[in-house]
Amino acid sequence: MLREFMSKFGVREFDVVRLVLRDGSELVGVVLPKPEVGDPNVMVVKLDNGYNVGIHISNIAKLEVQGHVESPMASTVPIGKFVRSEPTGLPRVRLVATGGTIMSKVDYRTGAVYPSFSLEDLYTMYPEIKGIADLELLNLMAIFSEDMTPRRWSEMAEAVYKAFMEGVEGVVVLHGTDTMHYSAAAMSFAIRNPPGPVAFVGSQRSSDRPSSDAFENLLAAVLVAARAPFAGSVLVMHAGTSDGLIAVHRGTRVRKMHTSRRDTFISINSEPLAYVDINKLEIKMNTSDFRARGKPEDTTLMNKFDDKVALVKFYPGMDPEILHFLIDRGYHGIVIEGTGFGHVRAELLDPIKRAIDSGIPVVITSQTIFGRVNLNVYRRGVELLRLGVIPGEDMIPEVAFVKLSWVLAQTKDMNEVRRLMLTPIDHEISPRSEVNTYINKVSNT
């Protein structure tokens, strides 16, 4: 095994080693930690040119230790630490770090990606921020965004609410991009009438990569938190693949639409709320329909979420047992992404009826993303309405899932659940869906 093999030559992780292979060739590099998956007998080494190579121990004739580099993870700041810069009279903006690529660096000696949670690092990488706001930094959590949960939304909302109660002008939440739109929606419901912006920001590439989008995204988010005329949860990321223009999306109207593009986030059934011109450091409003900044005393924290809500995507031949399983496991609510106007196969009608008769609300959304649910057009939709499903209007499925989780933490009364789900709270439902230019952008991607 690899560990025994390394021990034989006195080699540790992060040692600089010279390898002599059985074919006579030689390599020099840093021994990286063994991946959790893959061949257990392969040693991973980072070469001087930056590439990682995997070498099976059967091909290694000799190992020679030439030095050692320290693991960068030793410098991670503990969770819960709060630091602030010296006040200068600029607007106070609190950064709430939850993890993600935007607060990560690559250590090119080792190839490891690690979090960097210090104001000193931020000011070193982004000196322009000093002229915009007095920054405060809370290292709330350091997780992959796919590990976000409704309980962590509650923790996040409490931290954001506390920041506003302590007098900040705005909050920037540093978050991994994969589930950032879920969290942005969650803050839209959990913090009622916030006095300023809650600006979610992330990056597709780590801060020290030449092609990183982190700098402009973070600069724009701090600018929004400090100076924007509006309040509420928004998501701030690149508007295109080129630099210079950042889009500000409503927290309930945005979705990640590409795995790697810098302009991965797109407003759905809506236009972006605003744009930030990085070169001029200007916020350009894209609509007059927004909630203005308010007073902290008008803000209410409603940060409870029900973690027994499921989001299910319908597909041809979907087994009704999937819904029966959720009912039997005690789920409190179900959101279904139906086809087109919001349809499912006939075989799902029985478990849907069973759920609703058991006091489990079922919300129907559309997996087409753009457009809105209309259950009055075809017979299947009418059948679903007769069973008592809640039409999701033009809500994004992820937003409907977050909203139902929030609603069920407030009430389990079916009539009240229906009323709240069909009542616009923060632009998640509109009377008329917009056909915006982003549809063309998606179709041409």
Dihedral angle computed from the Cα positions of residues 218, 219, 222 and 226, in that order, rounded to the nearest 10 degrees: -170
**Long-range contacts, 106-110 (Cβ 8 Å, 24+):** 106/206, 106/208, 106/209, 107/72, 108/50, 109/30, 109/46, 109/69, 110/14, 110/30, 110/32, 110/46, 110/69, 110/71, 110/72
Clarify whether 308 is annotated catalytic.
no
Are residues 392 and 335 in contact, defined by beta-carbon separation less than 8 angstroms?
A: yes
Are residues 96 and 159 in contact, defined by beta-carbon separation less than 8 angstroms?
A: yes
Are residues 267 and 250 in contact, defined by beta-carbon separation less than 8 angstroms?
A: yes
- Helix then strand then coil, in percent of the chain rounded to 5, is 30, 25, 45
Dist CA 18 CA 99 (whole Å): 35
Set 15, 178, 213, 426: catalytic member = 178
Dist CA 222 CA 215 (whole Å): 11
Dist CA 289 CA 226 (whole Å): 20
Clarify whether 289 is annotated catalytic.
no
Set 98, 177, 179, 299: catalytic member = 177
What tokens does 4 get?
């025994």
Are residues 12 and 6 in contact, defined by beta-carbon separation less than 8 angstroms?
A: yes
Task: Output the DSSP codes for 59-126.
Answer: GEEEEEEEEE---GGGGPPPTT-EEEPPP-SSPEEEEEE--SGGGEEEETTTTEEEE---HHHHHHH-
Clarify whether 256 is annotated catalytic.
yes
User: Residue 391: which H helix or E strand, with range?
Assistant: strand 390-391
Set 101, 179, 264, 299: catalytic member = 101
Neighbours of 130 (CB within 10 A): 14
Are residues 249 and 399 in contact, defined by beta-carbon separation less than 8 angstroms?
A: no
Are residues 323 and 299 in contact, defined by beta-carbon separation less than 8 angstroms?
A: no
Clarify whether 313 is annotated catalytic.
no
What tokens does 63 get?
């190992």
Q: Identify which of 133, 185, 192 has the alpha carbon closest to the alpha carbon of residue 398.
A: 185
Q: Tell me how far apart the terminal alpha carbons of the chain are, to the nearest angstrom.
A: 46
Set 256, 299, 365, 394: catalytic member = 256
Are residues 159 and 114 in contact, defined by beta-carbon separation less than 8 angstroms?
A: no
Are residues 306 and 149 in contact, defined by beta-carbon separation less than 8 angstroms?
A: no
Helices (H) then strands (E): counts for the chain: 11, 24
Tell me which residues are annotated as active site. 101, 177-178, 256
